[in-house]
Amino acid sequence: MTVIEPSEGKAGTVPAPIAVALDAPDLETAARWATLVTPHVSTVKVGLELYLRYGPEVVASVRGASGVKIFLDLKLHDIPATVAGATRAVARTAPAYLTVHAAGGAQMVEAAVEAADETGPETKITAVTVLTSLSEPDLAAIGLAGPASEAARRLAGLSVEAGARAIVCSAHEVAAIRSEVGPEITLITPGVRPSGSDSQDQARVATPEEALKAGADLLVIGRPITRAADPGAAAAAIAAALRRS
C-alpha cells in the first residue's frame, strides 16, 4: 500500500488520509471550509463546477498558507492532444492529483502523463475507473462490460501501464485493483460515508474504516463533512475515528 506522508496538523497530530470534497456554491465558502478542515485532513478536492467558475484562483484560495494537498478533480476526457493541452494549463497550479477518465484510453492517459511531467512533475495523473454513482444496471446500459469490479480492474491496469500514478475506484474494487497494479500506486476511493450517513447519489459506498481496511490510500468525503453544522468538528471526528481503528 502506498504510504501517504502529509504534514503534521495541530498539536503534532498527522492529518488523516482524507480528501474533503469542496463542492461549495462560491469561492468564499470553499476557502472557509478548507480553512476549517485542513488541520485534520491531508487533502482538499476541487471539482469541475468550482474550477470552471473561478479557475486557478480557487486552487490558490483553498490552498492558502497551509500547504494542504490539492486534488483537482476535473475528469478530463477528450482526444489525446486536447487532454495534453488541458493538463499543461492546469498543472501550473501544482495539484497533487489531477483526474482523467481511464475510459479515454491508454493514449489519452499517456498524453496527460507526459504533459504533467513537462509542466508540474509533482502532479500525479489520476485515472478514474468506474464512477461510484454507477450501478451494475447502469454499466450494462452504457455498454461497459461488468461487473463493476472487473471493469474497474481492467481500466486501472490500462491506466497504470500508460503511466498513471493514482487510481480512483470505489472501496468495493480496491482489493482487486491493488492486486492488479501493485503497492506503489495511490488508490483513492470516493463514495465514502460514515456509518449512518445518507448515500445520496452514490451507488457503491463504504464507511471510512471499511475503505482503509480494504486497502485505500486516500478517502474522498464531501457532504458528511461540508454539510455538517461545524465542518471542522466533523472532519476532526472522522479523523479521530480512523486513528482509533
Burial of 222 (0-12, 13-18, 19+ CB in 10 A): buried
Pairing of the two strands 166-168 and 41-47: unpaired
In the residue annotation, 75 being an active-site residue is answered as yes
92: left (phi over 0), alpha (psi -120 to 50) or beta: alpha
Q: Which residue has the cell 504534514?
A: 7
Q: How far apart are CA 103 and CA 129, in angstroms?
A: 7
From 10, 45, 69, 75, the catalytic residue: 75
DSSP-derived letter for residue 6 is: P
Instruction: Name residue 97's amino acid.
Output: Y
Contacting residues for 51 by C-beta, under 8 A, at least 6 apart: 58, 59, 72, 74, 90
Please give the backbone phi and psi of residue 13, each rounded to the nearest 5 degrees, phi first. Answer: -75, 145
CB 27 within 8 Å of CB 62: no
Angle at 203 between CA 55 and CA 211, to 5 degrees: 80
Catalytic residues: 75
